[in-house]
Structure 1
Amino acid sequence: MWNQSKTLILLSVLSALLIGISYSVFGGTGGILLGVILAAVTNLGSWYYSDKIALAAYQAQPVTAAQAPDLHRMVAQLAQRADIPMPAVYLVPTPAANAFATGRDPQHAAVAVTEGLLNLLPADELEAVLAHELSHVMNRDTLTQAVAATIAGAIAFLAQMASYSLWFFGGSRDREGNGFGLILTILIAPIAATILQLGISRTREFAADAGAARLTGNPRALANALQRLERSAQKQPMQGNPAFQPLLIFGGSDGNLLTKLFSTHPSTGDRIERLMALEGQTLTMF
C-alpha cells in the first residue's frame, strides 16, 4: 500500500512540475492551460504507443509456443496463477541477460526476455524473473513508468524552450524581473523531473520483487537471479536507449548516495535484503 501511495504522490508532483514550468515559460492562465494539455497529451500517447516503442527499441521479436514451448508454458502458468490474460511473449536477440514487460494494461501486455537471460538462468530463477515482470503487468507499472518518462521528457522539452526564450528574448524578460526565475526553471526543473521519475521506477521495482515472491512462493529464487544478473551485466551490459532502462528487471544501481539518487533501480543488495526478509513468511497474492 505504501508503494502505491508513494507512486501516486510522485506522479502528482511530476505532473504539477510540468504545469509549473509551463507557467514559468509562457506565463498566465495560458501557460497553466498549456501545461495541463501537455500532461494530457503525453499521458494519452503513453497509453497507446509505449509498448510498441519499447519493443522496437530493443528489437524484440514475437515468439510462438512452437518456437519457445518452455518459455510459453512458464509464462502461461504464471499468468493463470496471477489471474491475468496471457501476455504476448517476445525474444530480444542479444547475449545480455535481462527482461522487461510493457503494455498499457493486462489485456494489452507483452513480456520480453533476452537470449542471454534464457542461457543464464536455471528454471526456478527464470520463473522468478518472469513473475517479477508479470507483477509489473498486474500493477500496471508499465503504464505508470511510461507516463512518468513522457512527462519528464515534456518537462525537459519545455526547459529547452525556456533556454531559447532567454537566449533570444532575455533582455525583455530581465526588465520584467523574470530572468532569474526562468534560469532557475531551466536548471532545476529537468533535474527534479528526472529524480521524481527515477524514484517512481525504484519504488515499482521493490513492489514487483515482492509480487514475484508471492507468485512463486520462492523469494530466494529471485534473489539468486538478481545476483547472477548483476555479475552478467558487468561483463555484458544491456545496450539500448537509456530512456527505456526503467523497464528492465536489472539496470545497474549500486554506488554512492548520489549515484543511487539518479539510478533507475534500487541497489541489488537492498532488493535481495527485502526478498530474503520475505523467506519463511506466508505469502499470499492478495
Structure 2
Amino acid sequence: MAHSRFIKDRGLTARMTLTMFLLGALFVALIVTLMYLFSGYAPIIGVIGIGIAFYQWWSSDKVAMRAMRAREVTPEEAPELHGMIDRLCALADMPKPRVGVADMDIPNAFATGRSPNRSVVCVTTGILRTLNAEELEGVLAHELSHVAHRDVLVMTVASSAGIVAGMITQSAQYGGFALFGGNRRDNNNGGALPAYLIALLLSLVVYAVSFFLTRLLSRYREMCADRAGAYLTMKPAALASALQKITGEMAAIPQKDLRSSSAMNAFFIAPAISGASLKTLSSTHPSLEQRLEQLARIQAELGRPGA
C-alpha cells in the first residue's frame, strides 16, 4: 500500500493480496494447460497470455480514458477542479495525479493508473453539474484513496485472467482452436475429450472464478474508499449526499447511454445502472444503503466529543 495520510486498511491489503494470488494461480494454470493441449503453439500462447497481462498493467490509464472518451485538462482549463485536487493531495501527502474530464451526462468519476505517479482521476461533466463543492470534494477524496491504496492497479491486473478466459471461451465456441490443431490429442486418447472442449471448460471455470473474486474485492474496495475519503475530508455527510445525488440522477439517463459505459462500472464511484438492486453476488458495488450506513456511523463518531 502506498504511504499517505489516508487511513490504512489491512483488510483491503489482505483481500488484494489473496485475490492477486488466486487469480495469478488460475492465470498460470490456464496458460500452462493451453500450452500442453496445443503444444506446437506453446510459445505463441505463452507470449499472448503474458502480453495481455502486461498491456493491462502498462496501459490501464490510457485504455480507461479512451473508453470514456475523456481528455486530460490543464489547471488553466479547469482551475477549480485542479485546485480541489491540489488541496486534497497536500492533505493526503500523496503525488498529484493527472486530471481528466469526460464530456457526458452520466454523473460519475473514476481513477485509474498503474501507480500513484502514473494515475489519472477523471470526472464527467454530468457530475460537475450535479454536485456542489463539498460533495465533489468527497467524491475526489474517494477516488484519490483508490490511487493511494493501489487497488486500481490490482483490479486492472486481476481482470487479466477473466479477459483471457473470455477470449478463449469465444474462440473455442466458434471453432477458433481448430487453427491450433484443437482436435489432435483425442486421436491418441481413446475417446478422451477433444482439446478444444477441455480448453472451453477450463476457461469457463477461470472466467467464473475471476468474475466473482473481482466483484467481491470491488465491493470491499468501494467501502474502504468511502471510509478513507470521509476521514480525510472529515465530511462524511457530504460524500453521502453526493452518492444519493449521483444514484438519483442515474434514473434520468437514457438506458443506451448507461449501457455504453457499463464496462467501466467496477471503476466508477457508483455503477451506471438505473432501477436495479445491487444486493447480488455479481454487483461491483455495495448497495447505497450499506454505504450510507457506514458514512452515518463515521459522522456520528466524528461528532462525539474528543473524536
TM-score band by shorter chain is 0.7 to 0.9
Going from structure 1 to structure 2, the CA distance change for 1:212 and 1:181 (only over 3 Å counts) comes to same
User: How far 1:263 moved relative to its partner?
Assistant: 1.8
* CA distance in 2 between partners of 1:270 and 1:32 (Å): 47
Tell me the amino acid that sits aligned with residue 278 of structure 1.
I
User: How far 1:210 moved relative to its partner?
Assistant: 1.1
Tell me the amino acid that sits aligned with residue 245 of structure 2.
R
Long gaps (5+) in structure 1: none
**Counterpart position of 1:86:** 96
Going from structure 1 to structure 2, the CA distance change for 1:34 and 1:22 (only over 3 Å counts) comes to farther
SS in 2 for 1:96: coil
Q: 1:72 aligns with which of 82, 92, 95?
A: 82
Aligned: 1:8 with 2:17: yes
* CA distance in 2 between partners of 1:85 and 1:74 (Å): 14
Going from structure 1 to structure 2, the CA distance change for 1:154 and 1:199 (only over 3 Å counts) comes to same
The correspondence of residues 227-266 of structure 1 with structure 2, limited to 5 A, is 227-236=244-253, 238=258, 240-252=260-272, 255=277, 257=279, 260-266=280-286
* CA distance in 2 between partners of 1:64 and 1:181 (Å): 51
**Counterpart position of 2:233:** 216
> Contact 1:63/1:91 (CA < 8 Å) preserved in 2?
yes
SS in 2 for 1:43: helix
CA RMSD across the alignment? 3.0
Larger Rg: 2
> Contact 1:62/1:88 (CA < 8 Å) preserved in 2?
yes
Going from structure 1 to structure 2, the CA distance change for 1:216 and 1:176 (only over 3 Å counts) comes to farther
SS in 2 for 1:147: helix
- Aligned pairs, number: 281
Tell me the amino acid that sits aligned with residue 15 of structure 2.
K
Tell me the amino acid that sits aligned with residue 129 of structure 1.
V
Structure number having the greater helix percentage: 1
**Counterpart position of 1:18:** 27
* CA distance in 2 between partners of 1:7 and 1:129 (Å): 22
Long gaps (5+) in structure 2: 1-9
* CA distance in 1 between partners of 2:111 and 2:278 (Å): 28
Going from structure 1 to structure 2, the CA distance change for 1:35 and 1:243 (only over 3 Å counts) comes to farther
SS in 1 for 2:126: helix
Give the structure-1-normalised TM-score: 0.86
Deviation track 1:122-149 (CA, whole Å, cap 9, x = no partner) reads: 1111100000111011111221121122
Going from structure 1 to structure 2, the CA distance change for 1:166 and 1:21 (only over 3 Å counts) comes to farther
